[in-house]
Structure 1
Amino acid sequence: MHWQEISVTTNEIMEEAVTNLFYEIGAAGVVIEDPNLINRYVQEDVWDAYEFPKEIMDAEHVIVKGYLPVDDKLPLILEQFNGALAALSGFFKDSYVSVQLSRLQEEDWANSWKEYYKPKKVSERIVVVPGWEEYNPEEGEIIVKLDPGMAFGTGNHPTTMICIKALEKYIEPGWRIADIGTGSGIIAISAAKLGAESVCAVDLDTLAVRVARLNVKRNMVEELVEVRQGNLLQGIDKTFNIIVANIIADVIIEMSEYAYERLEPSGIFIASGIIEDRQDEVINKLQEEGFKLVEVMTDNAWRGIVVTKG
């Protein structure tokens, strides 16, 4: 399979907005080269400086790369992306945007970013470790072995960390969990390792389903986690104690009614992938459906909303 790499060089202030734009067009993977973040990790001894090319360490701008399959839909998606990116630039003072396109084979992309992906503690207990890395856990730590492939969800993105932190905070042993928009399967696997009785992991993208199944097998939780292809909660007749959706605001609004129906009494809905500007809109819709607000979790401009079934 061939992939279209879209590389956007931009200011730090536009990084999250551009990243979110990639998710909205259905990008099958996003890579962010942020020199400030990399240098911070180097200073915190998370990564070693020698692992990074000097041109990345010294770069003036952030580079956000998204990946789309090369098919007959690609020209229209690229046209829509360029239009949305131009409109987005108008919202930011002194914005800078430069776009480059290139074609990659899947195996080229899958290997190129591995040197930048290191073990990371994403919550109080969960440590995400690449499948090719060794890691000795400290007492109480839970390891999730992960190879994201082309699917979104390395654990480093703020929206993913918000979901895992919320899940760790609220899950009870023996609960049934749904992970909608599972991506690489990281949230579903975390739920299983945190004591879930069963986890239903759903994604519309066939590649994400394939990658998630491989990661479930790698973490030896096949008996607990079922990965299926599907559109949100459609076709699911089970009820859950917790539903997690790490998607975008519009989709969370769309699925809020069905999430309410598929939750047990006093069940919890964890919704993430929400930009700060859409927070109130999402909360209002959830409350209209009967949910009660528990808390709003924040990570820079990203929001995670935790509600309970009233």
Structure 2
Amino acid sequence: MKWSHITISTSHEAAELVASLFEDLGAGGAVIDDPALLNAYIRSGEWDYTDLEEREETSVVRVSAYIAADERLREKAELLRRGLADLQAKGVDTAPADITEELVEDEDWAETWKAYFHPEKIGEKIVIAPTWETYEAKEGDIVVRLDPGAAFGTGQHETTALCIRALERLVEPGMRVFDVGTGSGVLSICAAKLGAGDITAMDFDPIACRVARENIEVNGVGNVEVFESDLLQKASGRADLIIANIVADIIIRMFENVSDYLEDGGKMLLSGIIDDRVDDVLAAAKARGIRVESVELDKGWAAMVARMS
């Protein structure tokens, strides 16, 4: 299939917010090309070797992502423009806010990274193993077979690893789980293999939903259903645990009605939060009567466990 490689030129201030616009549209991830950050790394001396040269122009940050070139592409492009306009209306400096699009073929760009994805034990029990490699399970291992395809979630990213380790503590036999922004389905599969009951996995991106269904089938977890949904919109009833490994701004938006979907005493596992947005999420949680019980950090990313006060 074809993809639209969309790049937005913006300011340092707006870069993370622009990246969240892509995430909100179901992109598997956004790349932030920050020349000032690159220069800082080069000057730090932490790299043993680099042939990269410092950039002279550092005021413009380029944020890019791949969006499926399907019947919804124009709609998503318009939503990006509206999102930029909304940020500007809120006083965020998004300049220059230029948008470029390049149509590309699916030349295995979702496959090339596979050389770097190998079996890895994430927590005390969970082992994430790619479907194309052989892994002999050891005693006590819970193996999750995964082919993320074009969806986010291998277990190697800090946010996913933080969630997997938390799930080993949080999941109780038979509990009902909602997984918001499921991506590859990895967290839903982990929850199922740890003993959860009914699990509803949701994602805005139809490609992610397809990938999640494929991984769920490979792992033989029949208690996981996948729906295309904007946050919790398609969820039915209430969950004992809501997982949301997305981004700070979308988590904050989810807070608006999350109480309608959470059982009394139920918990939320929230991640995808960069460390300098932790205070924003904490403030938004407090404003909505949500009590954050713990915050764990790993290499600049945070995961929180919370419940309604």
Identify the residue that residue 259 of structure 2 maps to in structure 1.
260
The 8 Å contact of residues 25 and 205 in structure 2, kept in 1 or not, is answered as no
Distance 1:144 1:65 in 2: 30
Does the alignment pair 1:188 with 2:194? no
Q: Deviations over 1:149-180 (max 9, x none)?
A: 11111211111111111111111111111100
Distance 2:21 2:281 in 1: 20
CA RMSD of aligned residues (A): 3.6
Q: Which runs of structure 2 are paired with 1:223-238 in the superposition (5 Å)?
A: 224-238=223-237
Paired residues, number: 272
The 8 Å contact of residues 7 and 66 in structure 1, kept in 2 or not, is answered as yes
Q: What one-letter code is carried by the residue in structure 1 that aligns with 2:226?
A: V
Question: What is the CA-CA distance between 1:103 and the residue it aligns to?
Answer: 4.9
Higher helix share: 1
TM-score normalised to the size of structure 1? 0.74
Distance 1:88 1:303 in 2: 25
Question: What is the CA-CA distance between 1:77 and the residue it aligns to?
Answer: 8.2
Q: Describe the shift of the 1:59–1:148 C-alpha distance in structure 2 as closer, same or farther (beyond 3 A).
A: farther
Q: Deviations over 1:190-230 (max 9, x none)?
A: 000010011110111111111100000000002x1011111
Q: Deviations over 1:242-286 (max 9, x none)?
A: 000011111111111422221111111111111222212211222
Distance 2:298 2:269 in 1: 15
Q: Which runs of structure 2 are paired with 1:191-230 in the superposition (5 Å)?
A: 191-222=191-222, 224-230=223-229
Q: What one-letter code is carried by the residue in structure 2 that aligns with 1:243?
A: I
Distance 2:20 2:103 in 1: 20
Question: What is the CA-CA distance between 1:23 and the residue it aligns to?
Answer: 4.8
SS at match of 1:211: helix
Unaligned runs of 5+ in 2: 9-14, 32-48, 54-62, 88-92
Question: Post-superposition, which runs of at least 4 consecutive aligned residues in structure 1 deviate over 6 A?
Answer: 74-84
Question: What is the CA-CA distance between 1:74 and the residue it aligns to?
Answer: 7.6
Distance 1:236 1:74 in 2: 23
Identify the residue that residue 46 of structure 1 maps to in structure 2.
none
Q: Which runs of structure 2 are paired with 1:80-119 in the superposition (5 Å)?
A: 103-106=103-106, 108-119=108-119
Identify the residue that residue 133 of structure 2 maps to in structure 1.
133
Q: What one-letter code is carried by the residue in structure 1 that aligns with 2:254?
A: M
Identity of aligned residues (%): 40
